[in-house]
Structure 1
Amino acid sequence: MEMIEPMLSKLVEVDVHLSGVWNSEPKLDGERIIAVGEGDKISLWTRRHIESSYKFPEITNDLKKNIKGDNWILDGELTVPGGFRKLLKRNTEDKTKISILSRKLPATFNLFDITRFQGEDLTSKPLAQRKKILLDVSSPGEYLRIIPFKIVTTETVKDHFEKSLKDGYEGLILKNASSRYESGKRSDNWLKIKRTETIDVNVVGVTRSTGSIAFGALILEKDGQYFGKVGTGFSDMDRREILDFLEKNREETPILLPENVDVLFTTRPLPAEIKANEIVGGKPRAPVWVRFRWG
């Protein structure tokens, strides 16, 4: 049984208007995982289609003990104490290190959805019903947790968001309680509000597009060093206007760019702002475009 493409959420502001019944869940700082159980075999798939069950024996053991049935697909977030940066330490192929880290830095699999159980496809069922099935077929374990959820309205979104931050989470996920599971889609039925920082950067170029959009991403520089790329936060019209603006500012960049950056052309440094929830390895994690800065 193959993994299912995860349903994705859209980034919105805290003043979002909701219609109907919605659930709120804390946004965790980890890695999205699709868990597939088929007989005695359990697979843990990342969004990049990397099978990682061998790296997290504590999770597969807990799933075997705490999930009923032998044919299921679960959706959740893998976390370790200290957040995503600490989770990167678990990314090793060394069997000895895996054994040590599973005890010294154990992960938790935080479940929030189920899309298949005992051969039945549950994706067309409303979220509220899938949540009930998830609670019926799973029980918490030492390394297994079912993410709590609450009913939220337009009037209470801000309160839920602020409490989520106070409790140490990185934001809030809002889910339409009547929505089906839209595999592989970034849906209006799942929304996320994140704690973010605005970061001052310079745009120094643009990458090629792999499709019909005007460009792939903007190349960033900060403090004289390559600072990654930003490829989200634009509409198609924004991309065309930005590309026209960049064309007028073509120039050889003085900074060294990685060989794997597919450069369309470079520009003089153009002051700008991006949003990112943290910096990992000297680069912004999941950056979002904000604007060019003038003056």
Structure 2
Amino acid sequence: MLATPGRLPSASLDAAYAYEVKQDGQRCIAYVSGDGSVLLRSRSGTDITAAYPDLSDLGRGLGSRPAVLDGEIIAPDREGRADFQRLQSRMGLAGSPARAARMARRIPAHLVLFDVLFLDTESLTRTVYSERRAVLEGLNLVGSNWSTPAAIVGHGQQALEMTRSAGLEGLVGKRLASPYQPGIRSRSWIKIRNVKTADIIIGGWLPGRGRLADLPGALLMGQPRSSGLQFVGSVGTGWTDADRTRLADVLTDLATGTCPFAERPTVTGARWVEPSLVAEVRYTTRTHAGRLRQPSWHRLRLDLSPDDLR
């Protein structure tokens, strides 16, 4: 179940919602079999169990009780805040168990649990959020690498101010009376960010200057519309040289001679790529033409495909 971007509910509806801190990590469904084993799947359904050996003991916390749990894998910084750049070094290692084990010692993962979809022999997806949350908290799933942070009922404005002052991404407001809707981006869950972000599709890039001539100086961004991929601007700030180098390798493999945008952008020296990479950028606002103002790079979204944006 996915959240819809939006604003805090009105004051009259505030008490009908619970608020959770929005985590900046990798969404995960944990299948606990009841024999101590755990299967982890990403939002796309990919088996990522081997990438996170430090989460393998989660099943012991439930003993013989099978369960399906929803949560977010994060890599906390020294202050305990989710740091997506740290987590990136843990992602994509399911095919390299030895390397995953080494990285787990260097950068421990932490699974933040926020929902339970199945327990013992019963599906809970039709059970309302408030009751599912009570069941989840009753499981007392607290360990060195997983936890069940509190959800606050009402007081959304105060909770959002707290996340802002703590440097956190924002809140997810969840309607207390809502069921769990698998695969649905529901308005019963609202993500309220302290900054505006957008998921974009990379359609091309412009080379950098000087020593960065072989690396991307800016990425050409698009978002799907009924007419095709709409150009929404370029992003060239907010990343490190390591980000540029990593992207250059990927973009070279996706090179094409065809512009993927419905209307060719008026840029010089563009290098087009197959529109298969999704990234997240931060921005201030949009122009009347739909361009993103003052965009800055945030992260590559390996957990998303262009089809997820349509």
Check conservation: 2:6, 2:190, Cα contact below 8 A. Answer: yes
1:267 corresponds to: none
Q: How does 1:103-252 map to 2 (within 5 A)?
A: 103-152=105-154, 156-196=155-195, 213-218=226-231, 220-222=233-235
Match of 2:80 in 1: none
**3-state DSSP of counterpart to 1:172:** strand
Query: In the alignment, which residue of structure 2 is the partner of 1:52?
Result: 48
TM-score by length of 2: 0.67
- Cα deviation, 1:38-64, whole Å, max 9, x if unaligned, reads 243311111121111111111121x12
* Partner residue of 1:280 out of 286, 299, 304: 299
SS in 2 for 1:24: strand
Which of 268, 293, 298 does residue 254 from structure 1 map onto? 268
SS of alignment partner, residue 272 of structure 1? coil
Inter-partner Cα distance in structure 1 for 2:219 and 2:49: 39
CA 1:15 to 1:64, structure 2 compared with 1: closer, same or farther past 3 Å?
Answer: closer
Write the distance in 1 (CA, Å) between the matches of 2:129 and 2:296: 28
SS of residue matched to 2:144: coil
Decide whether the 8 Å contact of 1:72 with 1:116 is kept in 2.
yes
**Separation in structure 1 between the aligned mates of residue 134 and residue 9 of structure 2, nearest angstrom:** 29
Deviant stretches of 4+, over 6 Å = 202-205
- CA distance 1:42–1:193, change in 2 (3 Å): same
- Alpha carbons of structure 1 residues 214 and 117: separation in structure 2 relative to 1, 3 Å: same
2:46 and 2:219 map into 1 onto residues whose CA distance is 32
Distance in 1 (CA, whole Å) between partners of 2:189 and 2:299 is 26
Instruction: Give the match for residue 86 of structure 2.
Output: 86
Distance in 2 between the 1:34 and 1:15 partners?
Answer: 27
Gaps of 5+ in 1: 1-6, 229-245, 263-269, 287-295
Which AA in structure 2 matches 1:89?
A: S
How far 1:223 sits from its partner (Å)?
Answer: 5.2
Consecutive unaligned residues in structure 2, runs of 5 or more: 78-82, 199-217, 238-243, 248-260, 277-288, 305-310
Aligned to 1:24: 19
Gap change, CA 1:17 and 1:214, over 3 Å in 2:
farther
Aligned residues: 242
AA aligned to 1:259 is: V
Partner of 1:273, secondary structure, is coil
Q: CA deviation at 1:17?
A: 5.5
3-state secondary structure, aligned to 2:20: strand
Paired residue for 1:76? 71
Give distance in 1, aligned partners of 2:296 and 2:171.
13
1:48-93 per-residue CA deviation (whole Å, 9 max, x = no partner) reads 21111111111121x1221244421100010002411110101224
Distance 2:180 2:161 in 1: 27
3-state SS, counterpart of residue 100 of structure 2: helix
Q: Offset at 1:255?
A: 3.8
Aligned-pair identity (%): 21
